[in-house]
Amino acid sequence: MIQSPDPARISPHRGLTFSGEVLPHHPGQVCQLAEATGFFNREEVSIAEELVGERLAGGEASGYLFLFAHHNQNLAGYTCWGAIPGTQSSYDLYWIVVHPDWQGKGLGRELMARTEALIQQAGGGKIYIETSSRDQYIPTQGFYGRMGYTREALLPDFYAPGDGKLIYAKKV
């Protein structure tokens, strides 16, 4: 029987490698990457770093799964996701972050496609993504739409007055 290639390893992007293994240097790299985007506030950067630390400390029992894209020794992008407790086959995509040097070059699409494939291989049936309704997130919302996600809900003033939570979903 021919086995399909591991979606966490093969890339059409020259020089990129993908791995789901979380290593001790990843919390710092994730923090630096999130800061480099100029997109996330300090609290959000801390949360991103914290989730990697939780995975290191608790392994798969932490509920957080990762896919890292490296170029040489540098983190070019990553995703973080996990099964939603109490559901049969629903998953949350918690983070997708791409370094500014790699934005607009297809890495976000590749990370998303690989993550979706890994979720599907694990028995996932639907993926949920939450994001802000602020104007700053309009490009993010457009990206999710181009990736086949549909807006399922708006929770007004969720994060702060004038800053609602948008929930996107996609069947895989």
CATH code, 100: 3.40.630.30
104 Cβ contact list (under 8 Å, min separation 6)? none
Query: What pLDDT digit, counting tens, does each position of 152-171 carry?
Result: 999 999 999 999 999 999 99
For residue 96, which phi and psi values (nearest 5 degrees)?
-140, 120
Which pLDDT score is estimated for 7? Answer: 46
Do 70 and 143 lie in one domain? The reply is: no
Do 87 and 117 lie in one domain? The reply is: yes
> Burial, 130: exposed, middle or buried (Cβ in 10 Å; 0-12, 13-18, 19+)?
middle
Which pLDDT score is estimated for 96? Answer: 98
Do 4 and 56 lie in one domain? The reply is: yes
Do 64 and 101 lie in one domain? The reply is: yes
Do 91 and 144 lie in one domain? The reply is: no
pTM: 0.90
What is the average pLDDT across 5-16? 57
Question: Is the per-residue pLDDT at 4 higher than 70?
Answer: no
Q: Return the SS3 of 156.
A: strand
Question: Is the per-residue pLDDT at 57 higher than 80?
Answer: yes
Q: Which residue, 56, 33, 4, is CA-closest to 107? A: 33
Q: State how far the Cα of 52 lies from the Cα of 21, in Å rounded to an integer.
A: 11
Do 112 and 133 lie in one domain? The reply is: no
* Residue 71 pLDDT grade (very low, low, confident, very high; cuts 50, 70, 90): very high
Which pLDDT score is estimated for 73? Answer: 85
Do 111 and 68 lie in one domain? The reply is: yes
> What range defines the domain where residue 117 resides?
1-124
Between 65 and 7, the more confident residue is: 65
What is the average pLDDT across 13-31? 92
Query: What pLDDT digit, counting tens, does each position of 95-116 carry?
Result: 999 999 999 999 999 999 999 9
- Quick one: what percent of the chain has pLDDT higher than 70? 92
